[in-house]
């Protein structure tokens, strides 16, 4: 980015800081409690009470990724031979059902908050076992804080825990309690840009907007892998959500870790290195963009709510996208969760 861009972003930063100060003063004066998820400035800084709205993710059909892996480690306490596939497969469903039965819960084979609560046992330094591994996957793999999965609550795990509790506004206890577990399971993650066929392109929001729910990240990576196998090309990822969600500049949505913007595919295949690409311009590759849309749908069966992109050549079949104002130079994907409270993210029946 050029100097003028840097200057303007610095200026924007200063304006934001002023706006935040005004907001804080105003809120303090009125004594109004602003929910953490609403104001992006409140979310930006560490110490916000993220744990207040963090909820355990449901895990069921089509889910995959780090949260499923965390859950599988926890399930191993009762099903020691469970495969660590990071995918909600048949054996995971059976292990969940078994855990539910044992706990006297309704047997659904899908994990909900009650089951997570049951499995996520409190932990302290020096302990070892399956739950410690689950913790280490969350801190190491999901948050990327260099914690190795050793199975022992060691010094590295301990310092990462300290950092997490500070970031999400939890009192530092040195222990993993139910609030900490809830935050860990709820927490968004970032794509493995280096290890996958995904590359990052930045908008005004920069790398701050590279977070999404762990299933969305896994679906994106899988779609990119499918697409790469067919075409040898990479997929350029723009904004997802912010680390803790909430409003984000330039978007009416993207607040819940359930959305992504991607660049269309270019005929020269350089969507990662060359800037934007508009379907109305020469150099746009309809055939491969359709393949990308298909891969996105294949990777997340029944969990893609819609894909917005304005090329009228992509209106039908598995490679279909729908019209939405402004979506000429990027594809917007919204994934869904069955029974989600908000109709914005609820899967259509």
Q: Provide the binding-site residues for Zn ion, judged by CB under 5 A.
A: 261, 332
Closer residue to Zn ion (CB): 167 or 261:
261
Q: Are 137 and 69 in contact (CB under 8 A)?
A: yes
Burial class from Cβ neighbours inside 10 Å (0-12, 13-18, 19+) for residue 263 reads buried
Q: Which is nearer to Zn ion, 42 or 263 (CB)?
A: 263
Tokens of 171: 């009192």
**Two structure tokens written together for 97:** 């059902």
Is residue 107 within 8 A of residue 100, CB to CB? The reply is yes
CB of 278 to Zn ion, least distance (A): 16
Chain residue whose CB lies nearest Zn ion: 332
Instruction: Report the SS3 class of residue 318.
Output: helix
Question: Which CB atom, from 255 or from 319, has the smaller least distance to Zn ion?
Answer: 255
Cα 199 from Cα 189, distance rounded (Å): 15
344: Cβ contacts below 8 Å, ≥ 6 apart: 253, 256, 334
User: Going along 229-290, which residue ranges are E strands?
Assistant: 235-237, 259-262
The least CB distance from residue 64 to Zn ion, in Å, is 22
Backbone angles phi, psi at 64, to 5 degrees: -160, 175
The smaller minimum CB distance to Zn ion, of residues 118 and 251, is found at 251
Q: In the complex, what is the shortest distance from the CB of residue 344 to Zn ion, in angstroms, rounded to a whole number?
A: 12
Residue 76 or 332 with smaller CB distance to Zn ion:
332
Between 290 and 332, name the residue whose CB sits nearer to Zn ion: 332
Q: Could you tell me the smallest distance in angstroms from the CB atom of residue 334 to Zn ion?
A: 8
**Cα separation, 224 vs 241, whole angstroms:** 19
What is the closest distance, in whole angstroms, from the C-beta atom of residue 133 to Zn ion in the complex?
A: 35
Sheet with 198-200, side-by-side order of all strands: 198-200, 235-237, 259-262, 331-335, 304-308
Least gap, CB of 198 to Zn ion (angstroms):
16
């Amino acid at each position: 980015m050029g100097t003028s861009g840097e200057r303007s972003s610095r200026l924007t930063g200063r304006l934001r800081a002023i706006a935040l100060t005004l907001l804080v003063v105003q809120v303090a004066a009125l004594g109004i409690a602003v929910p953490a998820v609403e104001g992006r400035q409140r979310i930006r800084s560490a110490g916000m009470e993220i744990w207040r709205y963090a909820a355990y993710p449901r895990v069921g059909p089509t889910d995959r990724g780090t949260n499923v892996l965390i859950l599988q480690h926890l399930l191993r306490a009762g099903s020691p031979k469970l495969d660590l596939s990071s995918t909600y497969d048949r054996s995971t469903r059976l292990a969940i059902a078994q855990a539910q039965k044992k706990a006297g819960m309704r047997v659904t084979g899908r994990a909900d908050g009650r089951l997570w609560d049951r499995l996520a046992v409190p932990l302290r330094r020096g302990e070892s076992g399956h739950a410690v591994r689950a913790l280490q996957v969350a801190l190491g793999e999901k948050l990327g804080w260099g914690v190795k999965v050793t199975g022992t609550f060691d010094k590295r795990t301990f310092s990462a825990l300290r950092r997490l509790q500070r970031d999400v506004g939890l009192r530092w206890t040195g222990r993993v309690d139910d609030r900490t577990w809830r935050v860990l399971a709820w927490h968004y993650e970032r794509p493995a840009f280096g290890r996958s066929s995904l590359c990052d392109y930045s908008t005004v929001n920069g790398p701050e907007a590279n977070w999404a729910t762990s299933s969305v990240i896994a679906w994106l990576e899988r779609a990119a892998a499918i697409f790469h196998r067919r075409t040898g090309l990479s997929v350029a990822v723009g904004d997802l959500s912010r680390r803790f969600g909430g409003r984000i500049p330039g978007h009416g949505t993207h607040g819940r870790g359930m959305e992504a913007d991607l660049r269309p595919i270019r005929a020269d295949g350089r969507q990662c290195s060359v800037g934007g690409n508009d379907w109305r311009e020469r150099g746009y590759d309809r055939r491969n963009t359709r393949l990308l849309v298909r891969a996105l749908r294949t990777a997340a069966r029944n969990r893609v709510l819609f894909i917005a992109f304005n090329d009228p050549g992509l209106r039908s079949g598995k490679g279909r996208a729908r019209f939405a104002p402004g979506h000429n130079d990027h594809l917007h994907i919204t994934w869904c969760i069955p029974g989600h409270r908000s109709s914005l993210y609820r899967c259509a029946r």
